[in-house]
Each structure stands twice: as C-alpha cells, then as structure tokens.
Structure 1
Amino acid sequence: MKKIISYIEKNIEPEVNLPKYADEMTLLYYRNSCVRMMMNYYTFKEIINESTGDNKVLDELSTRLEDIIKTALISAEQSSDCFDMLSELRNKNISIVNALTAYTDIFSLYEHILNRVEYKFDENSAEKAEEYKGITDEDITRSVMQYILSEKDNMVINQKIAMVVRELPVRMTKSRFYEYITEGLKVYKGHEKKSLDDFIFMIKSSAAIDLPDDLYDYFTELNDIFEMFKNTSFSNITKEQYDNLKNALTYGVDFLENTVSTHMMLQENINDLFVILLSNQYILTVPDELENLKDVIKLVDELSSDEDLDEIDSKVTDIFASIEGIQEDIGEKTARYEYVLDMINSDMKDITESLMLSVRYNLLTKIRDLSSGSIFVEFDKEYDLSEADMSYINKKTELLVDDFNKVFKDNEKLINRSRMSIALSILPVFFNNISEMQDYIYEALSQCGDGAEKLACKELLLSIVNEY
C-alpha cells in the first residue's frame, strides 16, 4: 500500500494505482464494518430482547433491519430494493434521533427553569438562605473571577465563561440581548456560510426554538411531559406542580439517556451494513470477518428463540476471541492511508474523471463517511460553502432575532430569561476585557430581586467554582 500511495502522490501510472488504492481502502472499510457490526449487532439485539417492549418505535426499526440483513446479507439476495429500504431506515432513524435531541434541549431548558424556582418550595430554603447570607454579590463575583482566570489556556477559559454565563440570572433588556447576538455572529465574516448556519442552528436548538416538524410523531410519553411544562405558569407555580414536573423531568431524562444510546447503536449497525453492501461488488475474495459476522447473526436469531443462552454466549465469545486485535490493526492502517482519499478528491479530479473513476471514488468517499465517527452524516443535503459577507450575516441575524421575538411574545419572563442564558452561553465570549466580564457578573447578581432564583444561582455558581 505504501508503494501505491507513493506512486499516486508522484502521479505515476494513475490508471493502475488509483484503482488499486480504491480496492485496498474498500477492503479495509469492509473488514472494519464486519468486525464492528458483529459486536454491535449482538449487543443491540440483547438490549432489544431484554426490553419490555415499551419502545414500539425501536422495535419496528429493529425488525426492519433484521429483514434487510436476512435478505441482503444472509441470503445474499442483494438488489436496489435493499439499498432503498436501508436508506429509508437510516433516514427514519436520523429523524427519530433528531426528535430525541430536540427533547434533550427542551428538558435542559426546563431544568434550567425549575432550578430557579426550586427554593420557593425546598424545605431547607431558609437554612440555605442563612448559609449564604454572609456571602455577598462581591464575594461570589470574586470567587467566579478567580475560578475563570486560574487557567492559562484560552479555550478552557472560554469554556468556564460559558458555564458561568449559563447559570447567572438574566436581567437585561431584549435589545441588549440582541446586541450580544448581533456582535456574536459578526465573527463569522469571511467564514463558510455553512459554519454560520450551523452555529445559528445550535443557538436555536439549544434554546428550544427550532423544533423538528415531526417532534410529536414518535414518543407519547415525552410529548406528554412537554405539554405539562407548556401548560404551567411558572410565575404562579405551586409546590404540587413543581414536584410533578420534577418527577416527570427525571423520568424524561432517564428515558432519553437509555433511548438515545440504543438508537445510536442502531445507526452504527445500519451504517456498517451499508458499507458492506456498497463494497460487495469490489470484494474479490470474501474475508473471514464476513463469515464471522454471519455466524454471529445466526446466533442472535437463536438468542431470540429462547435457546440455551449460556451456550450461545460461549459461541459468540469464541468468535470475538478469534478476531481479537483485528479491529485495532484495521483502524491503524485506515488512519495511516485515509488522507490520500482527500488528496485524490481535491487534487486529482480531472484524472479520476478521465479514467472514468469518478463514480468509484464518490462511492469510496461515501463508504469512508459511513465508517466515520459522524454516524448521522446526511448525504442528500447540499451545503453552501461560499464565504459569508456582512450582507448574509445581517440577513441571518435578522431572522434569528425574529425567531426569538416570536417565542418571547408567547412565553413568560422566566422562560425567556432561561432561553437568553442558554443562548448567551453559546455565543463567542462577548467581553472586551476582564473588567467588563467582572462588571457583567456582578450586575447580573445584584440586579436579581427574586430571592429563590438568586439563592439557586449562588449555589450553582459556587458548585461550579468548588468543583474545579
């Protein structure tokens, strides 16, 4: 492989070496997907079999994946329909994970809100208030500043600032908030438009103002919790409502943690199956890893049929033992040779086109992307990679401000303030100097007249400071 790469870099016999490189890389990705899928699929099916059947969405997707595996992999009846079904399954799972991610942001927002009303109902609120009575706003500000500036690494300092800004009470006007937004987006001048668009999406999703259209299509229990929060007046919240919301939030967060991880494992299995099927036409000699994968899948079927679990586990363990070290070896080779693919795509397009290898390399790039850590990469989207000028930035800023205006009109102050806190914590650091940052922290604390909220913010800030 080193000789092939050397020849490609020197443009020696590209008609020979470009196909050779593609074949070698395809085989590496193929073998890696076989090894990874045999481990992930067995674990995934164990989770499905042990579940109580309360996640009908996941059960349906799992069944669809099983059917495709049996048809395309075990029976080797590969057709265009298999690719269509697998692509549809992949897109469906991405949509579901997008909904789960949106609920993660929604619950994070409401947790932020609940934290600020907690001491209205906490039995220990008077005791906690007495504990913090001697700690002034100046004391908190000083401790926070020492915490932030104790680091020399600018990246770490910025992360600390973001954590602090998120927990500070917000008592600023909307116009001041929009000034921070406007200034924060200006740093993207000269960068790709996609980078700006991604950043704006992150602000909107984190502040729960950009929700998927199909949010309500999958998980009734999460929808019900969301409705509970939406129908609560936090300015008039009772202890009973608070307790109910707290319990519902705990359930929702636990549900998300368990469900998201399983859907991520499902996505990895889908991606690996995609790699195997896309690569098949270029694999001249079937590697042992494919046969191992088929053996594991057959054992999984037995696992579902209440056969002797210990015996099945023993057989699977033996298979896993036989591939020990293979994935690491493949990963090392892939990492060593993968850079050449980007070079070919960027510098040798004319050559690949003249040799009628464009389709081959487009497919190899797709296989590489499916094998990467970005398991939810979407192939049908087109991105604007041109440079963002001020006209584009101003237009996007105006649209973002409009989005915030709409949710601010429809919600009460406490919700809007939490949205502001979260959005401000995502922005690039907006302080011009240390003095400005110190003033911001002190003013945020001193202007907060809500005793319960201020007590909660003090506790949260001091917990951050004392943790590090």
Structure 2
Amino acid sequence: MKKIVGELLKNKHVDENLKAYCGPFMEINNKYANIRLAMNYYTYYTMTLEDESLLSTENMSGLATINLIIEELMNGESEKISENIEKLEKLRDGIIEKVQDLTCYVDKFNIYEHALNRVEYRFRDDDYPSGYSDENITRRLMQFILEDEDNMAINRKISQVIGQLPVRLTKNKFFEMLSNGLSIYKGGTKESLKNFLYMLKTTAMLENTETMTVNYPYLDDFFKEFKEVKFKKITKEQYDEMMTNIAKVSEYMEDLMNSNMMIQEILNDLLIVLYTYENQLDDNIVKGCTEIIKDTNLLFLGKFSPKSLEEIEDMFVMLEGTQEELYPKLSSYDITDQIMESYSENIEKLGLKDVYDVVYKLPRLNSDSMFMELTVDEDNTTADEEYVKAKEEELYKEYTELFADNEKLINRAVMSASIAELPVFFNNISELQDYIYNTLSVCNDKAEKLACIEILNGIMEE
C-alpha cells in the first residue's frame, strides 16, 4: 500500500494504482471501524445502565434502528446492506439537523449567560479586590498571554481575554473591526469565507435554522422568556430565576449533545463497516470485534446473551494496541483529497466513480468532526473584493437588525462574542496592552467591571 500511495502522489502508473488503492484502503478502514464499533457500542450500553437519560425518547428511535441493523448484520443478512446504509444515512442527516438546531440555542443562551454575569454584582455588596488597579490587572493579563511561546496558544489566550473584557464600542467602530477581520479573506476561497461567517453568525445569535423551534420547543419557550426580561431594570428575583433556568437548559443541552455524540460515533463506525463489508478481513481481531458487537447487541435487544458484561469486557484484551497500531497507517494511506483533486477524470474513465464516492466518505466518517456532512460541494473559487464586500454588507444588515431588536447589555455581549472570533487585530504588543487597559478604564459600571475582573482572574488561574 505504501508503494501505491507513493506512486499516486508522484503521478506514476496512475490508472493501475487507482484500481489498486480502493481495496486495501477499505480493508484497513473496515478493521479500524470494527474495533471502534465494538468499543463504542459496548461503552454506550454500560453507560445506559448508569444514566437513563441516554435512553430518552430523543434517542430511542435512532438507537432502535441501529440495534436492528446490527442484529441483521450479525445474522449475516448481507442482502440488506444497501437498504440499511440508506436508513443510517437518513438517520445521520436527522441527527446532524438536530445538533445544528441545538448549537444555535447553545450560542443564544451563552449570550444571555454572558449578560447575566454582568449584572450579578448589582445584587452583591462587593468591592474591588484589595490593591486592585487597571494597570495591575492589565500587566497580569499581558504576562498570562505572553507566557507561551507558541503563537496559536497566544492567539487563543488573546481571544479568551478579549471576549470577557467590558465592551464600550460604538456600532461604527464594531463594524470597522468586522470589516478588517473580513478583509483577510479577500483573495482566499469562498468556502473559507463561508466557514468564517458561519462561526461568526452562530456566536452572535444570527444563525437560525428552520427546524430549531420544532425540534426543541422546550428551549424556544425559555428563550422567549429571556427576551422579555429588561436587563436595565432587572430585579433580584428575575436574576435568580434566569440563573436557575440557565442551569436547567444548560444541563438539558449538555445531556442532549453528549447523547447525540455517542449515538453518532456508533452510527459512523457502523456505516464504515457496511460501506466496506466486502473488504472485511477474516482475522482474529475482526472475529473478536464481531463477537463483542453481537453479544452487546443481544443485551440491547433484551435477548439471552451467552456472556455476562464482565466476560464481554474481558474480550477487549485481545484488541489492546491494535487501534493505536492501525491509526498511523490509516492516516498515511488517506490521500483521498489529493486523488479527488488530481484524478477525477481518470476515475470517471476507469468506471470507478461509485467506488470512489464511497472511498471519499470514509475519512469524513473517521473525522474528529463527527457531524461532518458526507458529501460537500465546496466552493473553492476566489472571494474577490466585490464578493467579500457584498457578504460584509449582508452581515452588517443582520447585525443592525439584531441590535435594534435587543437592549444594550445583550448587544454588548454579542459584540464581545463576535470580536473574540475575529482574527487577531493587533499589530503589536503595545496595541494589545493599550486595548485591554483602555477597555477596563472606561467602564464605569461597577457591577459589570467586578464581574469581568472575576472572570478574567478565573481564566488566568485555570
């Protein structure tokens, strides 16, 4: 396989190697997926014994579909593989939709939690920490940011700090910062700009899906209640109630996200196993995985299992080290992006398009981004100045409407979240230091400033 990969990367014996690449690549993906499926499926079952929320109505239909498909697979009903792939792909799309809905609500409630944190000290009789000065905390924040040598770590810390400072920006200044951030994408790909705009808009409560209110009416009801509260006149009772509700919805959303992630992991593993079923090895590792999956499936279905949980767990000993051994090979053999970019015409002429359509999906299913779409039509054409300007104007319009619909404290929270997502906009260390100091020194709202100081101290102490 190393030779095949090497020659394809060097444009040698292309047609011959394109034919030879698919089988071994599917084989190693199948083995890796069988190991992961055995581990994730068994782990999920043991967790359901301890946490019944994992078997909530939200997950039951999806889990039932997965259990039935695994049962049919374990019984050797290979004629149903195509039909079951379609079922799993449909189920996967449904989970992705719900996770996108949930992400929108997570970001919306994050904005309100940010705003609530800024009013907490209105109801407390606290003063600035002993010896506090804007100069001292600015100095400490700069030391915290610059203690790393890695630029990525430094930039991450800058974003953390910027996102928690009290914001006193005019809308014009905010839009100027947005414009500068977007300007970086001029000359890049439209896909890169699209991804950046999505991240920015979700953070700022600008991203809404058509299905979010239908899929999560419970969260929508809470959000509507939050929007009715006037932060300028918020009472202690309203604050306490909102904090209680934030805790409730946060726990609810976290449980849903965790369970969706676990179901999606199993689903992704199972899809790879089905996609590559014809390339499955008949070695001891795969046989052991099949036995674990089959026995776990019997437990899920409430049928008689010849093995106890402990006996199933003991079988994992034979898999020790195999996953770690396979992963580097899996990574080094994955040249699917290069193949797609360079050899699409060859694949079409060789009649291998259907096979490669499956091959291209495997790395996406193995990705850490488990909710990634399986087929994405990326727009890698150039985002010229005119295109970026048009997107900028669309974004300004959305922010302007959002600001008009919300009060000042919410708008400040939106600005904070947004500028934290912008590419680092300081030309040097002095500019960063001046920004931190000036932002703190012009904040005359003692409650907000005390909250920011507490949060910033917490960031530095982590």
Q: Which moved more, 1:446-455 or 1:11-20?
A: 11-20
TM-score by length of 1: 0.90
- Name the residue aligned to 1:40: 40
1:394 and 2:396 correspond = no
- Separation in 2 of the partners of 1:310 and 1:248? 46
> Is contact 1:272-1:370 (8 Å) kept?
yes
Aligned partner letter, 1:238 = T
> Is contact 1:137-1:442 (8 Å) kept?
yes
Secondary structure of 1:374's counterpart equals: coil
1:208 to 197, 205, 208: 205
1:100 to 92, 99, 102: 102
Q: Which moved more, 1:45-54 or 1:391-400?
A: 45-54
> Is contact 1:49-1:304 (8 Å) kept?
no
> Is contact 1:72-1:82 (8 Å) kept?
no
- Name the residue aligned to 1:225: 222
1:439 to 434, 448, 455: 434
Secondary structure of 2:276's counterpart equals: helix
- Separation in 2 of the partners of 1:384 and 1:452? 47
Pairwise CA distance, 1:398: 0.7
> Is contact 2:295-2:305 (8 Å) kept?
no
Pairwise CA distance, 1:22: 1.3
Q: Which moved more, 1:362-371 or 1:148-157?
A: 148-157
Q: Which moved more, 1:248-257 or 1:113-122?
A: 248-257
- Separation in 2 of the partners of 1:416 and 1:89? 37
Pairwise CA distance, 1:107: 2.4
1:415 and 2:418 correspond = no
C-alpha distance 423-83 of structure 1, shift in aligned 2 (>3 A) = same
Of all paired residues, the percent bearing the same amino acid is: 37
> Is contact 1:48-1:59 (8 Å) kept?
no
- Separation in 1 of the partners of 2:206 and 2:241? 24
1:136 and 2:129 correspond = no
After TM superposition, the structure 1 = structure 2 runs for residues 338-377 of structure 1, keeping only pairs within 5 Å, are 338-339=334-335, 341-377=336-372
Q: Which moved more, 1:170-179 or 1:325-334?
A: 325-334
- Separation in 2 of the partners of 1:14 and 1:91? 35
Pairwise CA distance, 1:311: 5.0
- Separation in 2 of the partners of 1:406 and 1:10? 53
C-alpha distance 409-324 of structure 1, shift in aligned 2 (>3 A) = same
- Separation in 2 of the partners of 1:152 and 1:34? 41
Pairwise CA distance, 1:395: 0.6
1:323 and 2:319 correspond = yes
C-alpha distance 2-194 of structure 1, shift in aligned 2 (>3 A) = closer
Structure 1 unmatched runs, 5+: none
- Separation in 1 of the partners of 2:375 and 2:14? 30
> Is contact 1:118-1:452 (8 Å) kept?
yes
> Is contact 2:95-2:260 (8 Å) kept?
yes
Pairwise CA distance, 1:61: 1.5
Secondary structure of 2:80's counterpart equals: coil
C-alpha distance 143-353 of structure 1, shift in aligned 2 (>3 A) = same
- Name the residue aligned to 2:21: 21
- Separation in 2 of the partners of 1:442 and 1:250? 32
Deviations 1:429-464 (A, max 9, x none): 222333333332232222222121111112222333
> Is contact 1:57-1:218 (8 Å) kept?
no
- Name the residue aligned to 1:256: 253
Q: Which moved more, 1:345-354 or 1:427-436?
A: 345-354
1:379 and 2:374 correspond = yes
Q: Which moved more, 1:455-464 or 1:412-421?
A: 455-464
